[in-house]
Amino acid sequence: MKKHLFLFLVFLLVGFAANAQNRCFKAYDRLGREVTKFCVGERITFRDCAGVDADKEYYDYDKSNGLDFTTAEAKQKYYTFTQPGPVTVTQLGNLNGITDQFEQTFEVVATPTPTFTTTACANKTFLINITDTQYDFYNVSFGDGTSAIVLKKDVGSPVSHTYTQKGPYTVTVTGKYIGGFCTSPAAIQTINELPVYTPPVINTLKVQKQDAATGTIDFTFSNLLAGYTYTLKSKQETETSFKTVTTIAQNQTSYTLNNTNTTVKTEYRLEATDACGTVLPSSNKAAILILATSGGNEQVTISWQSIAGFFQQYDLYRNGVLLKSFGGGISTYTDTDVSCGQNNCYEVKGITTDGKATAVTAQSCITVTSSATPPAATLLTSFNLQNEVEIALQLPNGQSIKSATYQRSINGAAFKDIATTQQTSITDKLNTLTPVCYRASYINPCDKTSVASAPNCPVILTAKLNPDDNAVLTWTNYTGFTSGKTTYLLEVLDENSNVTRSIIVTGNSYTDQLADLQEQVFRYRIKATSSAGMVTYSNTETIKLELALFIPSAFTPNGDGLNDVFEVKGKRFEKFTIRIMNGAGQVVYTSDDRTTGWDGVYNGKLQPAGVYAYEVVVNLQDGTTKRRTGTVTLLR
């Protein structure tokens, strides 16, 4: 009996298990497609797939808040889920007379807009990188009729795409789920291609400091384009490969490399890559030039080194001025156009064989030495308007002085020192105007003394006034012009030292006729001019003529046209005033016009005959005042 009961229970349990295993229901979207993932906001319909009658199945859509099969939703068999996450759906159905529950767990997913980045590379190539992991896979549309699928497991690995047409381009990314048909909103980006790549250019490489440890190089660049990565690399002559120096920013036009060895032959270039890692054609090459200078007896030897065959031309500069150009095979030059004590700074500029880069050495400065006797200087002497002798020392080309000694000889006597100074011009105040000569020597910065200059003697002018009011002028010749003929001009100056007359003179004397001239003061000097255009002046001499004043002793204002007016005549004066008084001391006439006179009338009345007193005051051209008084007889 027990055996039969056991077999019954086994058969009953097997029946129940078979019945549960046969239960099933499926989920469908609005288009009737079976889904296993539900999108938030999407209406899902559930249908039995085990044979349960439609009017005998009910659904609960969220087990987590308890089961309830009595709601209207339970009978509708469709539901719209509003929150993402796992959800357990439970079916209550009657199958073959057995009412039972069957549940399945689904995933409700959100549909945010996917995120992605784009990176432009050379040659219209782009990297598209999905940056979220919401969806099971992504569709990337490149906007040119092509697309790519990115699986969730490949997110983070950029997709590369190369366009054949000119941009801009539109990239669209949508996310999708496996087990569901809902699609994300489209993520759209418009992208532009990089500038067409052309190799960068190193324009200049200038060594600012030549040193093994603390050397400095200034670079200038061009054609560094946005979107590309540039690396400055170097290679010494003995090395086989380039090494990274630094990264140069896009659009950067200059860079200073500090604390580098600038005493070895080294070349540089810029290498370029894009964001895809593509190695692009590198720049031209530029190389260091190494400079050395050494001194000799009034000469400097300049030598330079670089990588063999690197340069087509060298330009040598001295103190910033181009001295000489050389072909690429020359590497040394001796500069003999120098003189003792000069401090010259040299630099060499090299033009590379491709003509794209210029390399410049660091400056090398050196002071010239010498053991030779310096050549003689020349002097130029000239009187200024204060009758002082101005002495100018003219050094030979390329010479400089540490000090100069000036000497003077008066009337042919021995030369004596008058000054030792660093100045190349001095002024000598003579106590007496007499024939004088000067010479000078100088010490150069190498403490070598030059021979004395040739004597230089300024023109000495003398002037005398003879009794006939003629100025007799005599002068000495100028000594000191090195070649050619000397011409002489006699110049007459006004009180402001402006030249009023110039007279070409020969010989050593001239007589100036002054008797008929109105001026009182005459200033003379000699201007001597060399054939080379050098000018020197003599001392200035002044001649003063006496006042000429003519006052009549009587006049006859009777209207006969003869001696009718009392007037004062004269010359060599400027301002003039006259007063005439009668015998009672009354002023009957005044005037400051030298061209008019008194006609014997006062206040419209004829004055009686008799003796009248006068006072005449004149201002002379030399600034002095003269006063004359006397009497005049009026005759009727």
28 and 101 co-located in one domain: yes
The answer on pLDDT for 3 being more than 80 is no
pLDDT in tens, 181-201: 999 999 999 999 999 999 999
252 and 298 co-located in one domain: no
Q: What pLDDT was estimated at residue 16?
A: 37
Question: Pick from 287, 273, 274, 265: which is nearest to 219 by CA?
Answer: 287
- Lowest-pLDDT choice from 107-121, 452-466, 508-522: 508-522
Does residue 277 come out as left (phi exceeding 0), alpha (psi in the -120 to 50 range) or beta? Answer: left
The residue whose two tokens read 């002793």 is 553
The answer to the question of residue 478 being in a domain is yes
211 and 281 co-located in one domain: yes
The answer to the question of residue 281 being in a domain is yes
Which of the two residues, 400 and 321, has the higher pLDDT score?
321
When pLDDT is averaged across residues 399-425 and rounded to a whole number, the result is 95
- The one-letter code for the residue type at 346 is Y
When pLDDT is averaged across residues 588-596 and rounded to a whole number, the result is 91
When pLDDT is averaged across residues 204-233 and rounded to a whole number, the result is 97
When pLDDT is averaged across residues 31-59 and rounded to a whole number, the result is 92
514 and 563 co-located in one domain: no
Tell me the β-bridge partners of 628. 616
When pLDDT is averaged across residues 245-270 and rounded to a whole number, the result is 96
Q: Could you tell me what percent of the chain has a pLDDT over 70?
A: 97
In sequence order, what are the residues at sequence separation of 6 or more whose Cβ sits closer than 8 angstroms to the Cβ of residue 372?
A: 297, 298, 340, 448
In this prediction, residue 15 has a pLDDT band, given cuts at 50, 70 and 90, of very low
Q: How many CB atoms lie within 10 A of CB 296?
A: 14
536 and 603 co-located in one domain: no
In this prediction, residue 13 has a pLDDT band, given cuts at 50, 70 and 90, of very low
In this prediction, residue 5 has a pLDDT band, given cuts at 50, 70 and 90, of very low
Residue pair 219/257 in contact by the 8 Å Cβ criterion:
yes
Question: Pick from 335, 342, 316, 336: which is nearest to 327 by CA?
Answer: 316
When pLDDT is averaged across residues 230-244 and rounded to a whole number, the result is 96
153 and 218 co-located in one domain: no
Can you say whether the dihedral through the CA atoms of 283, 285, 286, 287 is positive or negative?
positive
The answer on pLDDT for 98 being more than 50 is yes
pLDDT in tens, 377-403: 999 999 999 999 999 999 998 788 999
The answer on pLDDT for 2 being more than 90 is no
532 and 483 co-located in one domain: yes
In this prediction, residue 587 has a pLDDT band, given cuts at 50, 70 and 90, of very high
Check: pTM over 0.85? Answer yes or no.
no
For position 268, which CATH number holds? 2.60.40.10
pLDDT in tens, 135-166: 999 999 999 999 999 999 999 999 999 999 99
587 and 598 co-located in one domain: yes
When pLDDT is averaged across residues 309-313 and rounded to a whole number, the result is 96
Q: Is 358 exposed, middle or buried (0-12, 13-18, 19+ CB in 10 A)?
A: buried
146 and 181 co-located in one domain: yes
The answer on pLDDT for 355 being more than 60 is yes
Question: Pick from 443, 532, 536, 552: which is nearest to 488 by CA?
Answer: 536
The answer on pLDDT for 4 being more than 90 is no
Q: What pLDDT was estimated at residue 17?
A: 39
The answer on pLDDT for 20 being more than 60 is no
Three-state secondary structure call for residue 143: coil
Name the domain boundary from 167, 191, 215: 191
The answer to the question of residue 448 being in a domain is no
The answer on pLDDT for 252 being more than 60 is yes
pLDDT in tens, 277-294: 999 999 999 999 999 999
The answer to the question of residue 8 being in a domain is no
Q: The tokens of 255 are what?
A: 């860079």
The answer to the question of residue 388 being in a domain is yes
Domain total for the chain?
7
- Cα-based distances in Å from 471 to 445, 460, 463, 521: 51, 16, 6, 11
Residue pair 126/159 in contact by the 8 Å Cβ criterion:
no
CA dihedral 15→16→17→23, nearest 10 degrees, is 110
The answer to the question of residue 12 being in a domain is no
The answer to the question of residue 595 being in a domain is yes
- Cα-based distances in Å from 450 to 299, 375, 439, 453: 19, 6, 12, 9
pLDDT in tens, 528-554: 999 999 999 999 999 988 787 889 999
The answer to the question of residue 136 being in a domain is yes
The answer on pLDDT for 519 being more than 90 is no
423 and 395 co-located in one domain: yes
> What are the phi and psi torsion angles at 319 (to 5°)?
55, 40
In this prediction, residue 207 has a pLDDT band, given cuts at 50, 70 and 90, of very high
Using omega within 30 degrees of 0 as the cis cutoff, is the peptide bond preceding 86 cis? no
Tell me the β-bridge partners of 511. 472
Three-state secondary structure call for residue 21: helix
The answer on pLDDT for 14 being more than 80 is no
103 and 155 co-located in one domain: no
The answer on pLDDT for 21 being more than 60 is no
Specify the DSSP class assigned to residue 186.
Answer: P
When pLDDT is averaged across residues 237-248 and rounded to a whole number, the result is 96
400 and 345 co-located in one domain: no
Name the domain boundary from 491, 509, 544: 544
Segments forming the whole domain that contains residue 184: 116-191
Mean pLDDT of the chain: 92
Q: Is 376 exposed, middle or buried (0-12, 13-18, 19+ CB in 10 A)?
A: middle
